[in-house]
Structure 1
Amino acid sequence: MAVPNQETYLSGGERQQLAEVYDFLQLDDAGWGRREGHCFLSGVTADERVALPEELYRVLRQVVAALRNGMAVTVAPQTQTLTTQQAADLLGVSRPTLIRLLDHGEISFERAGTHRRIGLRDLLAYRQNLI
């Protein structure tokens, strides 16, 4: 997931490498499944190779595209729960705004004592519906 309002700073060489990876992944956009059915991750030697599942390939494309646009990227398991501040940061809103969304039932959450915890999956679903 790309994190709004945070930039990644890359050296010139890293930008060039990222551009090459981006171009490679874009060239394969229409051809997923046409090159022997898979894309592969290769190791140092030719015999170190494993097929990438389609979902992992999609995630890699999203990460590379976000990095290319100067965004910072965070990868987290979908079962993760977030504090209200973490959730507000992810949405790019203030914590009071997030609390209002929670209190109006727009994003589901659970209570841990007096604290609210928001499921990452629920927060991402809310964010996706905004787009």
Structure 2
Amino acid sequence: MNMRTMLRLALLLAGIGIGLWHLKLGVRAGFVARNDEPLSFWIALLTGPFSTLPASITSFFRPVIGGTWLCCGALICYVAAMTALGLKGNLDDSIWTFIRYSVPMLALGLAAFIMARLSKTGFSGVGNMNGEK
């Protein structure tokens, strides 16, 4: 098994783990939601926790598409969540949303972009102990 395959599998396993965690958080939030939740709440759920798992699996096969999906989803989720909180939202809710949803998605998206870049350069010098290319 070469280095590229190992890194891709590690990224896939991390994405599945984070995706399942996000799915659990999203399902909980969906079940406790009231009838009068704003549209931005549902947009935040769909672009954030509910899209992490499919975007992570997509990034295994198409890293640029999956990475774009993860990064854009993280940003849209955060903006929609802040809109749902409204002007009365406090800093704790903002930080909680950013750390729980946006940071893991951004990290997975950036890792997918790095994988795509390393695939194009052929992993030259990665894992080579002798310094040969």
* TM-score > 0.5, shorter chain as reference: no
- What is the TM-score when the length of structure 2 is the normalising length? 0.26
Quick check: which one's helix share is greater?
A: 2
Larger Rg: 1
- TM-score, length of structure 1 as denominator length: 0.26
